[in-house]
Amino acid sequence: MSIEAYRDSWGVPHLRAGNALELAFAQGRNVALDRAWQIEVERHRSQGTTAAFLGAEAVGWDRFARQALLDDTARRCFDRLDRLDPDTAAWIRSYVDGVNAGLGEGARRAPQFEATGLTPGRWQPWTPLGVWLSTHILFAGFPTKLWREEVVRRLGAEAIELFATDGPGTSGSNGWLIAGDRTATGNALIAGDPHRFIEDPGVYQQIRLACPEFDVVGLAVPGVPGIAHFGHTGQVAWAITNAMADYQDLYREQLRRREDRQQGGDVEALGPDGWRPASAHVETIEVAGADPVEVEVIETERGPVVIGGPGESMAVSLRYPPRVREDLGFGALPALLRARSVDDVDRAFDQWAEPVNVVQAADTRGGLLHRVAGAVPRRHRDNMLRVVPAWEPGHEWRGWHEMPHEDVDGVAVMANQRGIAGPVGVEFAPPHRQRRIQQLLDESTAWSGKDMAAIHTDSHLASAQPLIDLLAGLGDLDGLSPEAARLRERLLRWDRRMEAGSTDATAYAAVRSAVVRRLAAHPALSGLSEPPPHPAIFQPWLALVPRVAYALEALLSTRQIPGVDRADHLRADLVRAALEEVAADVAADGREPVPWGEVHRLAPWQALPDATEPQWPGLSGDHDCVLSTSSVPGVTDHSARGPAARYVWDLARREDSLWVVPFGASGVPGDAHHRDQLPLWLQGELVPVITDWNLLTEESHDL
């Protein structure tokens, strides 16, 4: 094989090969060397086999992965791809061959294998599809429909909109496209930052892939070939955000076992046409340090059953496009690598399926693209809002939506707000991030790539306004204590910036959390405090305090709260009590609040937490800031979610493009590039994208 591997000064792999298949092999082998532990965890997650080495805490995910038939769906999608697009299937196989070639060496470098007793396994051709599916199956937030069921049951249908916002477990992003007439070079810029749960190692890998057909830099997902989300070919660049579309349905099922089978009998499900056979079998989850767990896997004509079963009070099936269509849209991946124009990118994303994204692209000839990509079914509006009864007609899928496109006039900003994706979604992020980015971009018509860092790191918190307005409404006649009055005046003077060094930001966050806890405890909402007995994996969507926290702006400004006669009086009383609570705590402590970064610390997810890990660093930002480092008010000030990467794609000169990831290029603990980008990421700094092969260091690997 004619494969060459290089590294830049940040350890980013630059891979060059004689053709696309050899390059796919090189990419697979590289990720196995750099991220062996990470990708093996992801393979096991897609199969539902993580508890075998991570223990009992992983059983919940394994149960869901098996019940949702993730691995089987990935296999079906690959089989269909193999039939209809054999060239793409061969490309994926070559990547998998590379993974298998490098996994043994990569595992020897990763101490987590020895610590858990895990032996590296063998990847199948469909494994990358399984990794992709398991990574994104919860992106559309279908458990929100379980939450709405509880809201309707407890408060009535009119209360649904109180909580209709980007909430627990939902990933978002910022992205913006600046046309050439607004830049210093006359060529477009694309910049942004995907917001996801921060994982260590990071969920995005900086990489360069070059062969005679193409030369692309971008952010790859470890375990998946190509560059799906963020890439620059030299002639065209693209980026995505979560469209917040609704494309997964939940059906309430009635299940029974056939009477002619005594034990483990065939399962039937009630549909619009009566009782119909459902497939069913039992699988065993092996658990490290505990007894195995059996799980029954059932699939009705709607989809796999992810809650309950025959004889249980509630059973719910999940219908999702890749299972229905046997397609994840992977045909787009090699097409994107070969793209030379926005038209090429547009055609590539016509094949896209999951997750549904907003796409922006620009090329060196001045072409611009702003569209939604993915598979969204046409069906009854109730399907998008609630868990619908499987036995009632009218809830079937009826074809697929055409994906919206919009023209770009100077600037286009995407931040998960209702907008271009409005026709295919229900709940969106508040418009604060989008409006703030737009406001900042309107301040100049000569933007450069280096200017983008100031936008990436903007910490203005517009969503604080309703709480600040309520504080302003408290006057001398409200009987505030002197300590509370001083705290009130302090917050009214606050600049609304959630900077790591700001003690005012900490004081605001403390009052906000106290309001959230008190509002969640009020009798009007407290009925939602006991979530239904659904599987633990869905509990982040069903917990009341986080729901109140993310919907606080609406709850503090709406005219009516179900069960409350005078909502304005209730809010004033809650804010007054919260202000007194925090003021008393500050007085008892005898000192100023600590800076925001002392409490707002990074809290990344690690499959195998390191007990020797020092305290993670503090952060600027907050949930509704452009610098969206999300805390959960009322629960924790720590941030588990934030920018999983930052990028600036320059269409004038690709070598002027910039990027950074939270940790580093390597997933190997102790490696020089394991966390060398963390200080830069914390400060909002970016590193150059190196494109000159003469500035790279060649590696030698036995193939």
Read out DSSP for 137-164?
TTTT-TTHHHHHHHHHHHH-GGGGGGG-
Rounded Cα–Cα distance for residues 389 and 425 (Å): 21
173 pairs with which residues across the strands? 194
Read out DSSP for 260-289?
T-SSSPPEEEEETTEEEEEEEEEEEE--TT
What φ, ψ does residue 403 adopt, rounded to 5°? -80, 130
Lookup: tokens for 314 = 């509630």
State the sign of the Cα–Cα–Cα–Cα dihedral 74, 75, 79, 80: negative
178: part of which helix (H) or strand (E)? strand 172-178
Q: With beta carbons less than 8 A apart as the criterion, state whether 36 and 111 touch.
A: no
Short-list 537, 450, 534, 483, CA closest to 137 = 537
Radius of gyration of the chain (CA): 26
Q: With beta carbons less than 8 A apart as the criterion, state whether 247 and 424 touch.
A: yes
Alpha-carbon separation of residue 17 from 121, 410, 463 (angstroms): 26, 38, 50
User: Which residues are tagged catalytic?
Assistant: 173
DSSP code at position 392: S
Alpha-carbon separation of residue 37 from 41, 48, 121, 137, 459 (angstroms): 6, 16, 11, 21, 34
Short-list 63, 163, 229, CA closest to 549 = 163
- Residue 246 marked as a ligand binder: yes
What φ, ψ does residue 188 adopt, rounded to 5°? -70, 155
Q: With beta carbons less than 8 A apart as the criterion, state whether 605 and 198 touch.
A: yes
Short-list 316, 173, 236, CA closest to 646 = 173
**Residue positions in the annotated binding site for Ca(2+)?**
246, 249
